[in-house]
């Protein structure tokens, strides 16, 4: 499992309190779900992880952070891979070998998008781009605009392409 390089920033950044809280709550939800799948009570999980029942309750309710050692123990006791406990946008491994390198790269970067609204915008951009056939002249210009990180030029060039249905 590979966790994105900016994991610390995405989980622990004190300036990003809402993201931090969401990640802690997500992990707690996954701990509860895995515990219930195993048919364990909070007390049983506490005993098997060398914690108090109150600690398990706090973890499951997103009231406390979970250190790496505790997460490793939980992973073993609950029979889940470490990646199971992390929100999907933090996990970047893609197990499907049938993807091309470009598809793999696209999915990897998409999973790094932190905000749901940005995910929707990105998905809409990809949908719109995929409905157009590239024109050779425009393709080179589009690639140049992307390399130069010129979003305005990039969008202008995309808008000037013809839809598949018009060709």
**pLDDT at residue 61 tops 80:** yes
Q: What is the pLDDT of residues 149-165, one digit of tens each?
A: 777 777 777 666 655 55
Q: Does 1.10.260.40 match the CATH number of domain 7-90?
A: yes
Contact 40, 33 (CB under 8 A): no
Buried b vs exposed e over 48-59: b needs ≥16 C-beta within 10 Å? bbebeeebbbbb
Per the prediction, the chain carries an average pLDDT of 78
Contact 157, 145 (CB under 8 A): yes
Distance CA 54, CA 113 (A): 34
User: For the chain, what are the domain ranges?
Assistant: 7-90, 101-166
Global pTM value: 0.50
**pLDDT at residue 102 tops 80:** yes
Q: What is the pLDDT of residue 15?
A: 57
Distance CA 104, CA 93 (A): 9
Cα distances (Å, whole numbers) of residue 11 to 23, 29, 34, 163: 7, 16, 21, 41
Average pLDDT, integer, range 65-80: 91
Q: What is the pLDDT of residues 21-36, one digit of tens each?
A: 888 899 999 999 999 9
């Amino acid at each position: 499992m590979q966790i994105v390089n900016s994991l610390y920033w995405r989980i622990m950044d004190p300036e990003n309190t809402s993201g931090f809280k969401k990640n802690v709550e997500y992990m707690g939800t996954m701990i509860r779900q895995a515990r219930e799948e195993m048919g364990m009570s909070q007390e049983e999980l506490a005993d098997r992880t060398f914690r108090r029942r109150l600690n398990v309750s706090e973890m499951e309710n997103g009231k406390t952070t979970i250190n790496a050692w505790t997460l490793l123990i939980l992973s073993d006791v609950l029979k889940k891979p470490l990646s199971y406990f992390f929100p999907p946008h933090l996990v970047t491994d893609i197990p499907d070998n049938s993807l091309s390198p470009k598809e793999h790269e696209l999915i990897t970067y998409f999973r790094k998008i932190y905000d749901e609204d940005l995910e929707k915008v990105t998905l809409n951009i990809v949908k719109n781009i995929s409905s157009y056939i590239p024109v050779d002249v425009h393709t080179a210009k589009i690639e140049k605009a992307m390399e130069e990180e010129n979003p305005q030029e990039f969008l202008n060039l995309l808008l000037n392409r013809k839809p598949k249905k018009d060709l």
